[in-house]
Amino acid sequence: MKKERQLRILYTLLSYKKLNVDVITKAYDISRKTWERDFEDINLFLSKKGQFRIIEKNNSIHFIGSDINLLEQLQLDDSFLLKEERLIYIFMILLRDLHIAKSQLIDDLDVSMKILENDINELRNIFIQNEANLSIDSRGIKISNIQKDKEIKILIDIIIKHLSLKQVYSILKLNSIEKLFSSYIYKSLEKKYNISIYNKIFIWTLEHASNQYNISNYEIIILSIKITLWLNHPNNKELMIAIVSLNNQRDFYELVKKIYCTEKLKLFTINHYSNNNFNEEIDLFTEYLNKQIKKLFKSNINLNKDIQKRIKDHIKSNLDSTNIDEIILAEYNRNLSQYINTYTELWKVIKDCVAKFFNDSKVLKLIQYEIFIHILVWFDTYIYELEINILTICIGGMGQSAMIKNHLASMYRNAKIENIAFSNINKQVLKRYDIIISAVDISEFKIENFILMPLILILKSKNEIHKVITETIYKNLLGGKMQNQILKKENILINQKAKDKNEAILQCANLLKSQGYIEDEYINSMIEREKKFSVYIGNYLAIPHGLDQKGVIKDGIVVIHYKEPIDYDSNPVNFFIGIAAKSNNHMDILSNIAEKMMELDFVEELIKNPSEERILEEFNF
């Protein structure tokens, strides 16, 4: 197999095992017909190497066989050098002879003049980036004596390009520097740069970094390559001798701090990842992201400490990455497109937040995709553990409904799941539940949190029912309809009238009932509670509630504002806040209300300028 593109495609497949055909054709800028020819050529090449092949199934390409065996065979083959290895070869010839004829390079590398000229132009660009001069004429190329600093930097740039092709997976699988190059190139590098020392430098750097910092394997590989090559600088001669004879990681890290290198490498040392400014910026980003997500979901969701830590660790690992894997980005774009369409609002928040803080990062898109994945996984777990009220409805009788109830109970351990016959439902009953799953259409009740799903589909696929429930809850959260069903806009009444405190308490009770929080038994309990104990708090506020939990369906809070104060045992009251509680879910909101209502100036101003929106914003926690 002489086509370089085909070998690059093969390395890509070895790294990812499975890739969509469209991703391959786009990454290598080839037509489907060209890919079909490459597919045949690659399989012909593989058949000569052993029990290896690639297959196409459902528009995806799979590699079949032992990847490590094939990788090792590829490294032993000096008959064909990849472009980056050709650049290393040309560079090392120039370091030795200062000039070389194009005709000699064509014979040595067994390539066409067109390929050679492309290689030379790429090498010249690397020279220019490192402020070095490479002269080209019709006969050949030449350099002047080059400073050691620039020599090392140029070689590092070429090797990084080569390692980017091999991918992290292949590098880690091969597990030693001699297997990352063809035999001839490795021997040349070893003779001039003692490159085999990389093996222990990588292990020690990996051990040190994994214990203390969040750095990707790729970044550790690159850092190890840079240390290996900079040890060849004359200023590091004694350090090289010391590290060659060294046998432990602790002393290595102390020694490598003394290495002479350019500023570029100093910025890439492990200490960079513990920089306070770097960490502060990530903390500010995570705080801002959480604030924007909380705003998106009407204060219903906060990112917990665990997901915030995972996001911070991920950014620390990837923000300074020098490698942008276009294949990974293409796969993310393809595989996540359906989720981006479903969770468009969440994607936009994440995308905007990342761009606001890290717009100059080369891995901006990668960070956006991967934070989106982290949050989707967290949100999925959040749904499984959510304390929600689910109602199941079947037309076939309570037996079918109970079957669905038990099926859902095995999935959502914290959910309260009830079943009801179709003949017994009404809008008042339906309003009590966060999610309603029915095998029969009940759209005439105009319930937004209703999921119509046939019985067989509910029982057949847990993944499918979970997907639908998750998407329904997501939409409800966006609209503020999942505010723990405690305080929401329709729970607030403004500028009401009541002749006395008893009528005001009864109005709170009736509002709680109409919103599906309580039954009649709790209304009587609220009235009895007032007879025994005053519910007046002070600062124009009363908080009526029952004697116990009897008659409470689920936690709820209602707020009623009276334009004219109600006489409560000679105390003026403009706000009655009714409570129904079966758990402590209401305590955050109630504590927030109590704290705000302690400020008399705030209360008096709110009495004069009330609104459902303002009360919701001020009191929700």
Instruction: Say if CB 296 and CB 345 are below 8 A apart.
Output: yes
Q: Is 374 a catalytic residue?
A: no
What is the spatial distance between Cα 495 and Cα 574, in angstroms, rounded to a whole number?
A: 9
399: left (phi over 0), alpha (psi -120 to 50) or beta: alpha
What is the spatial distance between Cα 208 and Cα 39, in angstroms, rounded to a whole number?
A: 42
> Residue 34: CB partners within 8 Å, gap ≥ 6?
25
What is the spatial distance between Cα 499 and Cα 565, in angstroms, rounded to a whole number?
A: 10
Residue 99's SS3 state is strand
Instruction: Say if CB 51 and CB 58 are below 8 A apart.
Output: no
Fill in the DSSP letter of residue 76. T
Instruction: Say if CB 16 and CB 325 are below 8 A apart.
Output: no
What is the spatial distance between Cα 133 and Cα 127, in angstroms, rounded to a whole number?
A: 6
Q: How many helices (H) and strands (E) does the chain have?
A: 28, 15
What is the spatial distance between Cα 148 and Cα 442, in angstroms, rounded to a whole number?
A: 78
Closest residue by Cα to residue 253 from 317, 203, 178: 203
Residue 553's SS3 state is coil
What is the spatial distance between Cα 384 and Cα 312, in angstroms, rounded to a whole number?
A: 24
What is the spatial distance between Cα 368 and Cα 353, in angstroms, rounded to a whole number?
A: 9
**Of residues 162, 233, 314, 545, which has the active-site annotation?**
545
What are the b/e assignments for 92-122, b being 16+ CB within 10 Å? bbbeeeeebebeebeeebebeeeebeebbeb
Paired tokens of 3: 């086509």
CB atoms within 10 A of CB 427: 12
> Residue 190: CB partners within 8 Å, gap ≥ 6?
178, 196
> Residue 549: CB partners within 8 Å, gap ≥ 6?
581, 582
What is the spatial distance between Cα 226 and Cα 284, in angstroms, rounded to a whole number?
A: 32
Length reported for the chain: 621
Indicate the pairing of strand 416-421 with strand 389-394: parallel
Indicate the pairing of strand 53-57 with strand 99-101: unpaired
As annotated, the active-site residues are 545
